[in-house]
Structure 1
């Protein structure tokens, strides 16, 4: 995770965080202009995230749920002020998985088995109970406004020839997507933290909830290909996860939906 040392303007932050911001160095680790993220060194370290109002509520809920299971950072505070959501979480020890690319086979096997372990957990008390529905709604909205990238990830081997073709395939088969598994929702290497190869926790859980496991499987395969610049580890990833729970047709459905993401 990239960080840039800054001198924060206190007026840009809610009053409740001013003392914390003044007790130690502050680093900007934002990856997008919409969601700003700062690392605050005070009190052992914590992360403060800010985004337009209404966009971090689910992340706060899922972060708390994962933290209760020992799978992520504790939620220290969540509030809405001045048209923005603010989420303060504890620091998770370690670095994200992009720091472990030097041993790709070990990394591939680790994130596959860690994902399978996540997918085996009980989800009866999960605060987001139908992630599949919102996943499909997002694809529908993307199609309606013309958001489409057919080259995003040609997966499996037969990419879609047109937006209408991908949409038609999704509409005809979307009933096959299940809602029976606890998901991370954005299962990518920067969102999985390790401490010397030991799992530390998950971050960025705004798309998490109960849904179809193939959403996480799609992103797991994608993140390996994107970060390692090769498709060579896709089949290994599926093997390590366990082929008994993988249906290629459902992966194709997820791919069709992500065309409109």
Structure 2
């Protein structure tokens, strides 16, 4: 994941209008947030709040899964999907919280690993009846699909939001467990898988 401070990105008029309606005022302050395999994301701030806009080839799945999860898990509010034909723009209200990968938390890696595991345990225990995404097979549960530290936001140690939900749905819990072990090793080096898996 690459992070930068600013960008000269030009918003399509419909996205600009929807963002302004969501945050108030007549101007948006744009900040390039990150780029990953899943798309490019900008944070837009206005008079009364902030939104995120994500640009990628096809964001319909992420929109639909985020909307379905609302009320079941803390997720960003979807404000609209714009574009199409392989160039989508997904607008969401900025969620509260700090990613578990953020050093400003001041947590030891072992604490991060335990919290990551506790949150995942709760996700996998949710009732996934009626989930229209993924495959309903023996042993499948509700999974995040891209379960890594930057996609888990907390406030005072409590889960405040899950983001990047384009792969969420019914699936093998081992997928999330493998992603969790990988993200801990990527961020902190080896030696923290046990706290995560035992949570």
TM-score (norm 1): 0.66
Q: Cα distance, 1:66 vs. partner?
A: 2.1
Question: Which structure features the higher share of helix residues?
Answer: 1
1:37 maps to 2:41:
yes
1:60 positional shift: 0.8
Structure 2 residue aligned with 1:108:
113
Unaligned runs of 5+ in 1: 132-176, 241-261
The answer for the alignment partner of 1:62 in structure 2 is 65
Task: Choose the corresponding residue for 2:16, options 7, 18, 36.
Answer: 18
Corresponding residue of 1:140: none
Q: Does 1:225 align with 2:174?
A: no
Aligned-CA RMSD value: 2.3
- State how far apart, in whole Å, the 1-side matches of 2:37 and 2:193 are: 31
Residue 76 of structure 1 aligns with which residue? 79
Instruction: Tell me if structure 2 keeps the 8 A contact 1:29–1:38.
Output: yes
- Give the Cα–Cα distance (whole angstroms) in 2 for the partners of residues 110 and 117 of structure 1: 11
Report Cα offsets for 1:220-258 as digits up to 9, x if no partner.
11111111012x111221111xxxxxxxxxxxxxxxxxx
| Contact 2:66–2:78 (CA under 8 A) maintained in structure 1 | yes
CA contact (8 A) 1:130 1:179 kept: no
Q: Which has the larger share of strand?
A: 2
| Structure 2: tracts of 5 or more residues without a match | 21-25
Q: Is the 8 A contact 1:61 1:127 kept in 2?
A: no
Per the alignment, in what secondary structure is the counterpart of residue 89 of structure 2?
A: strand
The residue correspondences of 1:106-185 to structure 2 (distance < 5 A) are: 106-130=111-135, 178=138, 180-185=140-145
1:238 to 2:197 alignment:
yes
Q: Which has the larger radius of gyration?
A: 1
The answer to whether residue 52 in structure 2 is matched with residue 51 in structure 1 is no
2:23 maps to none
Are 2:98 and 1:95 aligned? yes
Q: Which structure has the higher relative contact order (CA within 8 Å, separation 6+)?
A: 1
For the residue of structure 2 that corresponds to 1:125, the secondary structure is coil
Query: What residue in structure 2 maps to residue 146 of structure 1?
Result: none
Q: 1:83 & 1:180 partners in 2: Cα distance?
A: 31
Q: Secondary structure at the match of 2:74?
A: coil
Q: TM-score, normalised by structure 2?
A: 0.85
Per the TM alignment, residue 25 of structure 1 is displaced from its structure 2 partner at its CA by: 0.5
How many residue pairs match? The answer is 189
4+ residue runs over 4 A deviation: none
